[in-house]
Amino acid sequence: MGQISLEKAYLISAYFESTLTRNAGLFLCLFAVTLYLYFNPTYNQRRQNNHTSVMISISAIMFFVATFHLAINCYRLIQGYVDKHLTPSGTNAYLTNNMAWHFILKDIVVGIQQELGSAAAIYRTWVLWSYDWKVVVVPIVLLSIHIIAGILISASLYTKAGPIFTVVVYDRLVRTYLSIAFALSVITVGLMSYRIWTTHRNAVDYHVGNGRLLSIMWILIESAALQIITEFILLVSICAYNNSQYVVLEWITPLVGITFNSVTVRIKLQSLKEAVMQRQDANNPVQTIGSVPLRHFKINIAKEVENYAEDSKSTPESSV
């Protein structure tokens, strides 16, 4: 498999990350739409509940983390390609120095975003399954292992005494870390989709419309597909020891937030669309079997009245 240089890989990753996060970035647009839909009384007339507050808080934290990660990478690019370019070690040595504070901080931020995205997916699954803890036991265990693996990876790199694991053990830790992240995404999306599908199937006899539950299920699958595919590509590139892993790795931070917000925004817009259609159906009823709109009829009622008083006055009186 062809290789690209590390200098090119870091430049390409920074470009795509900035496109996804800030300026005209997708994450910035989705985050702005999320806030607008939930805080504008025109589109959200319901009172804010605890679930809504949790969703908004998670979205805001993800956006802050993605922005902070972008700022760190911008600093690294300026230092590496401008200030350190003419030094004896060069750009490559500066960007790949895993003992530097900016390298450590960048990787910690990536890990925080991944754990936050997995925790948010588990929370959504828990809510969707009517707060049943039995359903999310396996995802919670996997998330705990994922966090421990991330801590061990950081500890193996950032100790001053040198790596505490061999290269083989370190590679296995990284592959385990990414495999668990991929498995968590697939499991949580699968659990949520299965719950929605079974609910739709059980209520099919009472269902009216074009399948609102199924549309929500497809929103979940489509929105999570990009993150799942990216995590799979990252895992494959790392197993193949290809430098493209550095390009894909920087996409993860904004992509987790994009996935989370896209689900929220698309479901909200779907609900608003259905509300408008219901109001239109109520104002303009459609003639169907069993539901025929009535037509107004004009009825004229004629009454015949006999006036006995006038007849009695015209009758002549009898004489004695």
Per-residue model confidence as pLDDT tens digits over 29-88: 888 888 888 887 776 656 566 777 888 889 899 999 998 988 898 888 888 888 777 777
CB burial of residue 231 (10 Å; 0-12, 13-18, 19+): buried
How far separated are the first and last CA of the chain, in Å rounded?
139
Which among 259, 233, 256 has a CA at the least distance from the CA of 246? 233
Residue 306 pLDDT: 56
Segment 141-164, tens digit of pLDDT = 999 999 998 888 877 766 544 444
Would you state the pLDDT for residue 282? 60
State percent of the chain over pLDDT 90.
21
pLDDT score for 161: 46
Confidence of residue 187 (pLDDT cuts 50, 70, 90): very high
Sign of CA dihedral 262, 267, 112, 64: positive
**What's the confidence (pLDDT) of residue 143?**
95
- Roughly what angle, to the nearest 10 degrees, separates helices 244-283 and 50-78? 150
- Express each pLDDT in 169-178 by its tens digit: 778 888 899 9
What is residue 316's predicted lDDT score, i.e. its pLDDT? 46
The predicted pLDDT at position 307 comes to 54
**pLDDT confidence tier of residue 243, bands split at 50, 70 and 90:** confident
Contact 109, 69 (CB under 8 A): yes
Query: What is the Cα gyration radius of the chain?
Result: 33
* Cα→Cα distances 14→70, 74, 85, 180, 223, Å: 8, 7, 17, 26, 23
Distance CA 185, CA 192 (A): 11
Mean of pLDDT over the chain: 78
Report the run of H or E that residue 217 belongs to, with start and end: helix 212-239
Pick the more confident residue, 193 or 209: 193
Buried b / exposed e across 188-198, counting CB within 10 Å, b at 16+?
A: bbebbbebbee
Burial of 175 (C-beta count, 10 Å sphere; 0-12/13-18/19+)? middle
> What residues have CB less than 8 Å from 154, skipping those under 6 apart?
104, 107, 108, 111
Local confidence band at 179 (pLDDT 50, 70, 90 cut-offs): very high
- pLDDT above 80 for 101: yes
What is the pTM for the complete model shown? 0.78
